[in-house]
Amino acid sequence: MTAPAQDLSVPIDKLLTFAEAILHRLDVPAEDARLTARVLLEADLRGIESHGMAHLVDFYMRRLQGGHINPRPQIRATSETASAATVDGDRGLGFVVGHHAMERAIEKARETGVGIVAVGNSTHYGAGAYYAMMALEHGMIGLSMTTGGRLMAPPGSRGRVVGLNVLSVAAPTPREFPYVLDMATSVVAAGKLEIAARRGQPIPEGWAVDADGRPLTDPTKLHPNGALLPLGGTPATGAFKGFGLALMVDILCGALSGFGTSAEINSVRTAAHCFGALRIDAFQPMDVYLERMEGMIAALKQAPTQEGAGEVRVPGELEHALAQERRAAGAVPLHPAIVEGYRAAAEERGIVFDLVETP
């Protein structure tokens, strides 16, 4: 058996420059290209490689080339109050649309205590944690949700009926790391299957089913008719919880924006989002809130653990530590196949390729 290819260490500064150049050649304005590159990189820094730079060429570049993403969207509010708004993303890059909408939610929360912005007619926005975490520096709790491509089977079904919908929450803590929940409402994100396929690895039973509803362990067989299972797996193990959460995201994103839910719109090319910001001092003085957060974390850290398990980790803690480590190293790991895709894209677009040394 051939040994799996080892990841390559790619310098952060060169990766950002390359990503910006690729996007700019596709008519994305310089500021939007920088933002998109930064959001993708942030996912890799935090170890969320399923939503990072691996998708730059095969996903975002190809969709820009195909006209499925508008490089210069006219993002506009279609309805607005002091604390809420609905935004039309004009099929722009989800990173750009999402950043705009979350900034609007934060501004509303600054004035009223709470800001909610629903977005329709957008596209894939990468890792949702980025937008939720935008609220942290403003003394706010951030919320971010998005619909995904219709690829989930409801409990007891064997068809693709519901989107791979995602929700994220970020909250300040008195520790060096914030609380950050970033989760698919399926057992795993679809990107996990892409990673397994790229590495030639099987997936565990309970992640996905084939067209007949039988367990699927070969990630390359997911398409065209397989489906991921809701968080919880089967009805006996709590699948209705993941299914219910997926529909909640559909309601807050697709129905609230008026754009449509994933059950209605069978497209991986468009998406609806919902963003929220809660100004903490509109509810409690910040010091009281932080005291409660410290009490919660301290209690978790003191909890007895299983043998060899180590201390309890708060959601977002490990990702924060990894991001610090990778920033200090000045590089992120990328699979050789991804880097080769970059090389081909650079040649296609007439861009200098210097991400890794050529043997």
Per-block mean pLDDT, blocks of 10 residues, the chain (359 long): 75 97 97 98 95 94 96 98 99 98 99 99 97 99 95 88 95 99 92 85 90 90 89 92 97 97 80 98 99 98 90 97 98 95 94 77
Question: Is the model's pTM score more than 0.75?
Answer: yes
User: What is the CATH topology of the domain spanning 73-187+231-284?
Assistant: Ribosomal Protein S8; Chain: A, domain 1 (3.30.1370)
Per-residue pLDDT at 212: 87
Per-residue pLDDT at 268: 67
We find that the CATH architecture of domain 1-71+331-359 is: Orthogonal Bundle (1.10)
> Which amino acid, 241?
K
Q: Where are the domains of the chain?
A: 1-71+331-359, 73-187+231-284, 195-228
The superfamily in CATH containing domain 195-228 is Hypothetical oxidoreductase yiak; domain 3 (3.30.60.50)
Do 1-71+331-359 and 195-228 fold alike per CATH?
no
Burial 195-221 (b: 16+ CB within 10 A, else e): bbbbeeeebeebbbbbeeeeebeebeb
